[in-house]
Amino acid sequence: MQTERVKVGVIGAGLIGEVHAKAYSEYEKSELVAICDINGARAKKIAKRYGCQYTTESQRLAENPEIKAVSVVTPDFAHYEPVMQMLEVGKDVLCEKPLAMKVAESKEMVEKAKEKGVRLMVDFQNRWSPLFLEAKKEIKGGNFGRLVVGYGRLSNTLFVPTKMVSWAAQTGPQWFLFPHLIDLVRWLLDEEVEEVYAFGHSGILKKRGIDIYDAIQAMVKFNKSGSVTFETSWVLPESWPSLIDFKIELLGTKSRIGIKGDHQGIDIAGEKFAYPFALSEQNAFGKTIGFFHEPILHFVDSILNNRIPEASAEDGLAITKIIAAIEKSILEKRVVKIEEAEF
Ligand SMILES: NC(=O)c1ccc[n+]([C@@H]2O[C@H](COP(=O)([O-])OP(=O)(O)OC[C@H]3O[C@@H](n4cnc5c(N)ncnc54)[C@H](O)[C@@H]3O)[C@@H](O)[C@H]2O)c1
């Protein structure tokens, strides 16, 4: 029997756009129809690799009635336009994190998806990592109690802003990394953020011509329980054994949960000492598995099963508001209530 397949497109054929293209092309329930990138050579290369059409104009995807759903995998500051363009013509959208770097844009995206009655999911992929699923099970099962205090850090080595992300100066660790970290804790606790107080450090990246924060530390108060200190930086020495330094520690009234997201159970001492990304993407005897792929397959399944996907646009909007409040707190050197991020 022929399986029903969701026909999809991908906008943005960069590092992570390729992850989306690969997942759609391998999954038996989806068919990758076309990929779009303003860089034609890049679009052509990825299209050739995954056997689909390519274009430099996202309008071509919007006009194609065959395409039911689209992944938007453009840089952080360039999600709004392609997402709105696809929602407008009634396509389901999976958007990379952050949903947008502006609260107003995120709100419009949420409202447009509602108006058109389509899905808008944000790729908060760590929710599919076994480490965080285990933590969620512990908390949901009632063994954790309520949060007393917590700490979370997600940082990258200097390699990321200086050699990997060509548009680093147009984002920052707060937009590139905090979405993953803060989404995880908000999702784990199932609570909203009330207020934030944050500090930023700059100067190291600025000296290299990238005028953004080097690091940020933010104390975040949740509405039903305690507070969490979140930390992110983009200036970790390249000698660190992974691209990420990723820890979450939550102390509850009944238990303590500690997660090492960077050390995923394996380290290798070769030419360099390394913590490989063991859980994100693996070829398991011909099948790709891992938490980079799972949310993309989940998006396809949600369309076929007519369900609302995990990691909604509302979650994306909540995260954008929290980060906007953190930026405001740094600039104004005061505690900022989350409602004040409504700009
Ligand atoms: N989920 C994750 O773990 C993860 C990891 C890294 C990056 N990301 C996110 O994925 C997104 C893409 O990051 P990346 O590392 O793949 O970046 P990248 O620079 O490798 O790729 C972005 C691509 O988008 C193209 N592009 C830019 N504007 C466009 C437009 N308007 N229309 C079509 N194509 C356009 C660029 O030419 C480029 O090829 C970002 O939002 C980033 O934060 C997610």
Report the run of H or E that residue 247 belongs to, with start and end. Answer: strand 244-252
Cα 81 to middle of ligand 1, angstroms: 14
Cα 74 to middle of ligand 1, angstroms: 4
> Is the pLDDT at 340 greater than 80, yes or no?
yes
> What does the pLDDT read at residue 15?
97
pLDDT > 90 fraction of the chain, expressed in percent and rounded:
98
Mean pLDDT on 189-212: 98
At 300, list the tokens. Answer: 């396809």
Mean pLDDT for the chain overall: 97
**C-beta atoms surrounding 264 within 10 Å:** 18
> What does the pLDDT read at residue 4?
84
> Is the pLDDT at 77 greater than 60, yes or no?
yes
**C-beta atoms surrounding 326 within 10 Å:** 28
Name the one residue in this structure whose structure tokens are 């548009």.
167
Q: Is the peptide bond before 75 cis (omega within 30 degrees of 0)?
A: no
> Is the pLDDT at 1 greater than 70, yes or no?
no
Which tens digit of pLDDT belongs to each residue from 9-19? Answer: 999 999 999 99
Domain extents in the chain: 6-125+286-312, 127-280+319-341
Cα 17 to middle of ligand 1, angstroms: 6
Between 271 and 3, residue with greater pLDDT: 271
User: Do 182 and 220 meet the contact criterion of CB atoms below 8 Å apart?
Assistant: yes
Q: Which superfamily, per CATH, for 127-280+319-341?
A: Dihydrodipicolinate Reductase; domain 2 (3.30.360.10)
| CATH placement of domain 6-125+286-312 | 3.40.50.720
At 74, list the tokens. Answer: 């453009």
Q: What is the secondary structure of 208-243 as a DSSP string?
A: TT--S-SEEEEEEEESSS-EEEEEEES-B-TTSSSS
Give the residue whose CA is nearest to atom 15 of ligand 1.
15
At 248, list the tokens. Answer: 């979450």
DSSP 168: G
Which pTM value belongs to this model? 0.97
Give the residue whose CA is nearest to atom 19 of ligand 1.
14
**Helix (H, G, I), strand (E, B), or coil: what is residue 124?**
coil
Distance separating alpha carbons of residues 85 and 164, to the nearest angstrom: 28
Which tens digit of pLDDT belongs to each residue from 51-67? Answer: 999 999 999 999 999 99
Q: Is the peptide bond before 309 cis (omega within 30 degrees of 0)?
A: no
pLDDT band at 342; cut points 50, 70, 90: confident
Q: Which protein residues are within 6 Å of ligand 1, measured from CB?
A: 11-17, 36-39, 42, 58, 73-76, 78, 82, 96-97, 123, 125, 166, 176
Which tens digit of pLDDT belongs to each residue from 136-176? Answer: 999 999 999 999 999 999 999 999 999 999 999 999 999 99
Which tens digit of pLDDT belongs to each residue from 225-256? Answer: 999 999 999 999 999 999 999 999 999 999 99
